[in-house]
Chain A
Amino acid sequence: MMAPEALAEVAASRASAALTKRRVRKERFSIGGWPFQLIAPEDRPGEWLGRAFPVLDHHEKQNSADCHQLTAWDGTGREALPPWEPNDLVPLGVLERFSNEAIRCAVDIPTDSLIVCNFAQDWSLTCYPSIHDLPAWAKASPFRIILSWLCNRQGMQIVHGAAVALEGHAVLLAGPGGAGKSTTALACALAGLAYLGDDYCAIEPRTGQVHMVYRTAKLFKSSLDLIPSLFALIDNRDKIDMEKGVIFLRGDEVSLARSAKLSAILLPRVGNGSATTLYPATRADAVKAILPSTVGGLMGGTSVTPRLIMELVHSVPSFHLALGKDLKSVVDTVASLVAVPHA
Chain B
Amino acid sequence: MHYSVDRSCVTHDRLEDEVIIINASTGSYYSGSGPAADLWTLFSQGTSIEEAAGKLAAEYSCDEDSVLQDVNRCVGFLLERGLLKQINDRPSPAAGLALPEIARQGWSAPNFDEYTDMWDLIKLDPIHEAGEVGWPIPKQ
Contact = CB atoms under 8 A, between A and B. Distances in A.
A97 B11 CA distance: 19
B22 A301 contact: yes
B134 interface: yes
Contacts of B13: 304, 306-307, 310
A178 B11 CA distance: 28
Contact of A287 (B20, B121, B126, B134): B20
B127 A242 contact: no
Given A287-B31, A292-B121, A300-B11, A306 B133 contact: no
Interface residues of A, number: 39
Given A284-B31, A284-B113, A309-B20, A242 B132 contact: yes
A87 B16 CA distance: 41
A100 interface: no
A92 B137 contact: no
B25 A295 contact: no
Contacts of B20: 287, 291, 306, 309-310
A75 to B, nearest CB: 19
A32 interface: no
B118 to A, nearest CB: 4
A309 B21 CA distance: 11
A227 B130 CA distance: 25
Interface size class of B (residues with CB under 8 A): 20 to 34
A110 B118 contact: no
A92 B133 CA distance: 20
Interface string A77-109: 000000000000001100000000000000001
Given A306-B21, A307-B13, A291 B132 contact: no
A138 interface: yes
Interface in B10-37: 11-13, 15-16, 18, 20-22, 24-25, 27, 29, 31
B87 interface: no
B126 A295 contact: no
A295 B29 contact: yes
A274 to B, nearest CB: 26
Given A287-B31, A291-B29, A291-B118, A300 B132 contact: no
Contacts of B31: 284, 287
A244 B12 CA distance: 35
A341 B136 CA distance: 33
Contacts of A91: 25, 122
A138 B122 CA distance: 17
Contacts of A283: 18
B80 interface: no
B15 to A, nearest CB: 4
Given A306-B22, A307-B15, A296 B133 contact: no
A305 interface: yes
A311 interface: yes
Interface in A260-306: 283-284, 287-288, 291-293, 295-297, 299-306
A291 B28 CA distance: 10
B23 to A, nearest CB: 9
A135 B117 contact: no
B137 A110 contact: no
Interface string B107-140: 0000001010110111001110010111111000
Contacts of B120: 292
Interface of B: 11-13, 15-16, 18, 20-22, 24-25, 27, 29, 31, 113, 115, 117-118, 120-122, 125-127, 130, 132-137
Given A92-B24, A110-B134, A296-B27, 5 more contacts: A91-B122, A301-B22, A306-B20, A310-B13, A314-B16
27 contacts: A91-B25, A92-B24, A110-B126, A135-B132, A135-B134, A137-B133, A138-B134, A239-B132, A242-B132, A243-B133, A244-B133, A244-B134, A287-B20, A292-B117, A293-B121, A293-B136, A296-B136, A297-B121, A297-B135, A297-B136, A300-B11, A300-B22, A300-B24, A301-B11, A306-B13, A306-B21, A311-B15
